Amino acid sequence: MSSMKNKYIVRSRISEKKFREILWYFSADIEAVKIAEFTDISEKTINLALALSLRK
């Protein structure tokens, strides 16, 4: 079992804290490219996390 838990996305490799940070930037209408720069996570991962969060 993974040491990181994320109640928003099952089997996520992004911590819940980092995921909430991504959502905060997204809600502030910041582009995925900039979010990737701010969080040191790839743009592809940012887009995937946002897509999964919007599906619910």
The per-residue pLDDT for range 1-56, each reduced to its tens digit, is 455 677 767 667 788 889 899 999 999 999 999 999 999 999 999 998 888 877 76
**pLDDT of the residue at 11:** 67
**pTM for this entry:** 0.77
Burial class of 56 by CB neighbour count within 10 A (0 to 12, 13 to 18, 19+): exposed
**pLDDT of the residue at 40:** 95
In the chain, % helix, strand, coil (3-state, to 5) comes to: 60, 0, 40
